[in-house]
Amino acid sequence: MAKLDGGMRTPSRWAVLIGVNFYSSSNPKMNLDGCGNDVIAMYNFLRDYLGVPKTNIIVLLALDPDSSTSPTQFLDGLIITPTKANIFAAIDKVVSQAAPGDFVHIHFSGHGDRESTRYPDRKPKHAKDELLCLVDDEDITDVEFGEMLDGLVSPPNSFVVLATLDCCFSGGATRKKDFAIRCKPRLGIQDEIEESISSEDWTPRKLRTAMPVQSWLYRDRDYNALTACQPFETSREGRLSSGEWHGALTSTLMSCLKSLGNERLSTTYGILHGFLDASIRHKLRGVQQPMLFGERNRLLFEPTIIRSTEFQTLAYVTHVEKENIVINRGLVSGSVLGDTYSLKEPGTTNAQTKAAIRVTVTSLDAFAANAQLSQDSQSSDSTHLDNVKVGWLAILISRPRVSYAQILCDPTGPSEGLLSKIQSEWQSFVDPIVQIQLISPEIAEMSTHEEEVKIYVLIDDAGCTMLDSNKKPFENFPVLPKGSPEFTERLMYLLRHLRTYLLVEELKTPQSQISGFQLSIEETDDTGDNQDAVSSWKIYFKNLSSKVLFITVFNLTPLYGIYQVFPSDAGFAIPVESSDVFEEIVDIEIPDRLKTASGEPSFRMTDVIKVFITAEVTDLRHYELPELKNTIPRQLRNVKPRQVKGSSWWTQERKIVTGPSQPQAS
């Protein structure tokens, strides 16, 4: 174990790498081509880029002795056969040698499968088990694998864990010329899959229900996991320019990690996933989209979690063509024409990007923005976009939309001094992304923006009170006391926060005709064991369309925070296939900050459960907003999950008002 000069131990890094090419000598169609190469690529990266000692890496390989694609790097050394016993023995060996805080990476490339659950007491009705398929017809279930990962991150082990799974869990397979198969064949689906496959170099390995929603790995977790694709997609492998077969996930992951260079030290799993997702979507024309589970703000290969709001402004370049680029932020993400982004190559430092390439959004569809070079771009090289690549970061730096807040007070009254202070200072605190413009009392009558005013600021002897468009106080919103330090700056912060919240609350479906699904949010008597719940609500969604739809659920809290409730950390959205049902219960609790006030006869609080339904996998986490800082401490989300071609996106919501009597919905 390495130690610093002061005696403090430097965390070590360990890995267990599993690749299964060879499944059957009697049925060659069961064998794979690229899994061994995946393992070797991962091994070399760990050794050459992360400095993991050879003695800290355990390799388990099953190679096809008759295949010309079998790797040779490990043939002169000891190869451990990837049986179930050997894999768990390898994990136990790492546990016996590693220390708390060490990083442990587990990689699997091979077949996957699904079958009826062996755990009816631990999974919902009709749930499936996902299997990692090993040699000799052995397997590891998702429950076994998930519990093993839980054990690694829990005391006394307390390791930092990353699992990468380049395999399929659907149980389907097909084969054509140069095709690789990464799932066990299941009768009855081959023809269906054959019709959906092109003859590109990247070919389906398996149908990969990359863990359905009921999967044991889809729980809240303290480890991170990267999987190759969405539940309804096929995973692909192909022949690289070197002539070697590799999985799309593993080869692209290696490329992304290497291109980050030293910036890996400050890169989170969320940023890596965005880079990886954009690269694979582009390479495979959107047919395979990797998934990330676990804490998105954890630094790569480290225990450190950074609390950053960067994801609120961070997007990715997904396509480049001549003078036009495409960014993965469309109408459903709240983008508007005129948004300006600064482009940054992953792996470059801020110092290297002073001369930024800036682009401005010129057109929008539901899920993407088309942008062209901004006239004010600072880069001397930015007369064209030739150097921009898919996967570059696109950081939102300005938005043309302006929101208006009107001041209400007597300009000659006792608050005249405070009004003068605000008037002289507020423009110094305008944010280029959430622009708030104050309208003073003396110009209010001449203003042409009266109908655009969403917030009124009442100034009196107590300070500032925020009023809604009907000039009524916002429920449970703090009054800014008159004597507060940095008064104007604090006022502008509160206005930005409130306006950001209202923009999400006001977001509506772009067209009135809603079809293709059934959605209801109804109160239920099923209160479970939560003694703090004041009410419980069932979210029921059924996909009536012929295609996969995706559901994301947010809670807009009474303390003006916005939190993604479903999925909690398991990817961007929950896929619901045709005729399938998503059904969950959430409990409404009174936040600690409001418990004292909740005893008052006039008390009321409003929760909004807002449901987004999209026709594509869409990351909407940039809508998340922490509850007000300083004035109101940040707390956990108020709604808690309890149970383990028309328009291409829709949103519906339910307002739940809680008072001294029964909650009311609107």
Q: Which residue has the higher pLDDT, 86 or 228?
A: 86
With 90 as the cut, is the pLDDT of residue 287 above it? no
Mean pLDDT throughout 241-270?
85
Angle at 595 between CA 590 and CA 599, to 5 degrees: 110
pLDDT on residue 368: 92
Q: Which CATH architecture has domain 13-293?
A: 3-Layer(aba) Sandwich (3.40)
pLDDT on residue 131: 84
For the whole model, what pTM was predicted? Answer: 0.75
pLDDT on residue 98: 97
Q: Which CATH number fits domain 517-665: 2.60.40, 3.40.1360, 3.30.2290, 1.20.1300?
A: 2.60.40
pLDDT on residue 198: 35
Rounded Cα distance between 550 and 273, Å, is 19
Mean pLDDT throughout 465-491?
92
Rounded Cα distance between 520 and 586, Å, is 13
Q: Which residue has the higher pLDDT, 628 or 403?
A: 403
For residue 268, list its beta bridge partners.
Answer: 299
pLDDT on residue 632: 41
- Token readout for 360 is 């401005």
C-alpha distances (whole Å) from 447 to each of 131, 325, 423 are 65, 38, 16
pLDDT on residue 352: 47
Residues of the chain within CATH 2.40.10.410 domain(s) are 310-398
With 60 as the cut, is the pLDDT of residue 201 above it? no
Mean pLDDT throughout 463-481?
93
Q: Are 338 and 399 in contact (CB under 8 A)?
A: yes
Q: Which residue has the higher pLDDT, 115 or 427?
A: 427
Q: What is the pLDDT of residues 516-568, one digit of tens each?
A: 899 999 999 887 778 888 899 999 999 999 988 989 999 999 999 999 888 87
State yes or no: cis peptide before 473, omega within 30 of 0: no
| Band of residue 245 on the pLDDT scale cut at 50, 70, 90 | confident
- pLDDT > 70: percent of the chain: 77
Q: Which residue has the higher pLDDT, 190 or 586?
A: 586
CATH 2.60.40 fits 402-503, yes or no: no
| Band of residue 72 on the pLDDT scale cut at 50, 70, 90 | low
Q: What is the pLDDT of residues 120-168, one digit of tens each?
A: 887 766 677 888 889 988 999 888 998 999 999 999 999 999 999 998 7
Across 21-25, 291-295, 511-515, least confident range: 511-515
Q: Which residue has the higher pLDDT, 353 or 222?
A: 222
With 90 as the cut, is the pLDDT of residue 646 above it? no
With 90 as the cut, is the pLDDT of residue 104 above it? yes
List of residues 6+ apart from 305 with CB closer than 8 A: 295, 297, 298, 299
The rounded mean pLDDT for the chain is: 80
With 70 as the cut, is the pLDDT of residue 309 above it? no
What class, spelled out in words, does domain 310-398 have in CATH?
mainly beta
Sign of CA dihedral 72, 77, 80, 81: positive
| Band of residue 452 on the pLDDT scale cut at 50, 70, 90 | confident
Residues in the chain: 666
